Amino acid sequence: MVYMFLKRYVVGPVVNAAFRPEVRGLEHVPAEGPAILASNHLSVSDSVFMPVAVPRQVFFLAKADYFNSPGVKGRVMAAFFRAINQIPTDRTGGRASAKALSAGGRKLQEGELLGIYPEGTRSPDGRLYKGKIGVARIALETGAPVVPIAMVGTDKVQPLGTKVPLPRAGTRVVTVFGEPLDFSRYRGRQGEHALLREVTDEIMHAIQALSGQVYVDAYAADRKKQLAEQKRQETKQAAGEFVDHAKDRARSAAQSARQAADSLAHRDRPAASDDDAPRSTAP
């Protein structure tokens, strides 16, 4: 109820008026019945532009952090996400993650649309990263078709680190829906890891064909850790170089001060007179 109200009368009109986003292939999203909407993930605003483009409600697997943040702000955020029927997802793996995936499966069994970002997190550099097998597990568990989606331009209107998307000259946000992928022939085989990997890779390649992104056979989360460690090392190196430079300047200043003091002492020392010269004692 809250979701559709916001979509139709608040968020949708604002987004369409401010950004004039382009939508392609919307006919591939079923008008009724279950489907998994599997998208690349460039920006937080992906979760705004894609649902605005789809006439039906999309249920997303949302980070558990959105529901567990402390304080008043955290409680307001959790209430908002519950009001729009988003599903908390524990990303630590194991039973907690499996429970969240099962909740997504229940939504599909109820005939709803389920939105998933197979990469698991936003791309740190605009490339398409290896998908996690959760999307395949739900597809094989439910038999629901998978609609690949490419978000284009969202990382330009809302780059990493910015809080809200803003229109930018020369940038057009495009949402591209591809033809549904049918994995119903594998239904019930969600326990076969090799098959899950194969299905996930097929979904990711379908997304890549729509987005034109460079594909990286590694997880985005691992790449983010590498970048964070690289930044930490660069910061550490820069700090070390700053300290060394400060020490060099301090030594140079101290040396200059000593030289100045010696020069002053030499200048103030009385000059030797003739009376001070040694006298001859020759007979």
- The Cα 127–Cα 125 span in angstroms is 6
pLDDT at position 82, please? 76
The token pair that represents 214 in the structure block:
């460079």
Q: How many CB atoms lie within 10 A of CB 231?
A: 10
| Beta-sheet pairing, 146-152 with 174-177 | antiparallel
pLDDT at position 279, please? 57
pLDDT at position 271, please? 58
pLDDT at position 86, please? 80
Per the CB < 8 A criterion, the answer to whether 43 and 159 are in contact is: yes
pLDDT at position 220, please? 96
Determine which helix (DSSP H) or strand (DSSP E) holds 129, and give its type and residue range.
strand 128-129
pLDDT at position 83, please? 75
Which residue, among 265, 124, 135, 141, has the nearest Cα to 197 in the 3D structure? 135
The token pair that represents 67 in the structure block:
């529901």
- In the chain, the N- to C-terminal Cα span, in Å, equals 127
pTM over 0.85: no
- The Cα 116–Cα 37 span in angstroms is 6
pLDDT at position 96, please? 56
pLDDT at position 42, please? 97
- What are the phi and psi torsion angles at 125 (to 5°)? -145, 15
pLDDT at position 263, please? 78
Which residue, among 130, 129, 125, 61, has the nearest Cα to 98 in the 3D structure? 61
Q: List all residues 6 or more positions away from 142 whose beta carbon is below 8 Å from its beta carbon.
A: 34, 105, 108, 109, 187
pLDDT along the chain (283 residues), means of 10: 87 95 98 97 94 94 76 79 75 58 87 95 96 95 97 96 92 97 96 97 98 97 90 83 82 83 72 55 52
Q: How many CB atoms lie within 10 A of CB 6?
A: 16
